[in-house]
Amino acid sequence: MISLDDLDQAMRDPARRVPAIRRLGGGSLAVVANGDPWRVSGRASAIYALRRPTGRILALRVPLDDDPAVLARLGDRYHALATDPALASLRAAGGPLPGEIRWLADAITLPTAGFRSVAHPLLAMEFVPGGTLVQAVATAVAAGSGEATAALIPPLVRSLVGFERARFGHGDLRPDNILLRRPDDLAFADLDRAAWPGSPGLPPGADPPARDRLPALLLLTELLALAWQPALRPAGSAADGRLLFGSDDLANPEHS
């Protein structure tokens, strides 16, 4: 696995150690108050922000896995996500796929043992500033606004219908992977497991949307319940990335 400290160190010296920035047209990395690079990280990736000379911002998503086979599969998948004509409707402006997807193979120079260095890839994509569905629901619940939660349901349904029509499966459909451009305009992040007809590595006869249908049903049920009664949301649920149901609810529904 890639060390977050090594990544941050590289991002502090982007001119020498992040050649991807030149290939993306230049720009400057977002920083926090002490001058360190702005970063958010999850289980599988770290995300930085690049402000381009045009003023637009790109998210730079760096996979933490350093297995060459895994990275090659990710590169194939994201290249296909960016170019496959079958996904044109999902990539269109306001569509559920993030814009400006671009996989760069030799993007960052990281240290290895023996004072050597190795190139590591990153994924550039549209930076979506509106936060996650989890954060939006937490804000609505804190304000006691069922209406604000209810307003999130139509754009979610539109996105899910678009996925079904394209026979597209996200593969990790969780509320913290759903980002808000605006309350009525959603983008779906973390597409490492995405699949669709003709996608790299898809087994014959597979139905990619099938694996999203149960989590989609749960998401819609959670939003409907919280729109009806915001107080149902348990305290602290934002921290673990859920809207209403947790793993205990699904494992023991009779006690939920």
Task: Please indicate, yes or no, whether residues 14 and 122 belong to a single structural domain of this protein.
Answer: yes
Query: Which H or E element spans position 153?
Result: helix 153-165
What's residue 254's pLDDT?
A: 60
Residue whose C-alpha is closest to residue 173's, from 185, 159, 152: 159
What's residue 242's pLDDT?
A: 81
The one-letter amino acid at 51: R
Chain mean pLDDT for the chain? 92
Q: Would you say residue 253 lies in a domain? A: no
Task: Please indicate, yes or no, whether residues 139 and 54 belong to a single structural domain of this protein.
Answer: no
What's residue 147's pLDDT?
A: 95
Output helix, strand, coil percentages for the chain, rounded to the nearest 5.
40, 20, 40
Task: Please indicate, yes or no, whether residues 236 and 180 belong to a single structural domain of this protein.
Answer: yes
Domain with residue 82: its CATH number is 3.30.200
Task: Please indicate, yes or no, whether residues 122 and 137 belong to a single structural domain of this protein.
Answer: no
Task: Please indicate, yes or no, whether residues 118 and 138 belong to a single structural domain of this protein.
Answer: no
What's residue 151's pLDDT?
A: 97
What's residue 112's pLDDT?
A: 78
What's residue 206's pLDDT?
A: 92
What's residue 107's pLDDT?
A: 96
Number of domains in the chain: 2
What's residue 238's pLDDT?
A: 58
Task: Please indicate, yes or no, whether residues 222 and 138 belong to a single structural domain of this protein.
Answer: yes
Task: Please indicate, yes or no, whether residues 67 and 28 belong to a single structural domain of this protein.
Answer: yes
Which segments in the chain show pLDDT lower than 50? none
| Domain endpoint, select from 126, 141, 157 | 126
| Domain endpoint, select from 110, 126, 142 | 126
- Distances from the Cα of 24 to the Cαs of 18, 61, 108, 113, 126, in angstroms? 11, 14, 13, 29, 12
Q: Are strands 102-112 and 57-63 parallel, antiparallel or unpaired?
A: unpaired
Nearest-angstrom CA–CA distance, 222 and 50: 34
**Domain hosting residue 85, numbered range:** 10-126
Sign of CA dihedral 163, 156, 212, 48: positive
Token representation of residue 95: 């569509």
Q: Would you say residue 86 lies in a domain? A: yes
What's residue 122's pLDDT?
A: 97
Give the chain's radius of gyration (CA, Å): 19
Please indicate, yes or no, whether the overall pTM of this predicted structure exceeds 0.85. Answer: yes
Task: Please indicate, yes or no, whether residues 98 and 145 belong to a single structural domain of this protein.
Answer: no
Token representation of residue 189: 């992040």
| Domain endpoint, select from 71, 97, 126 | 126
The one-letter amino acid at 190: D
- Distances from the Cα of 31 to the Cαs of 24, 48, 50, in angstroms? 18, 9, 10
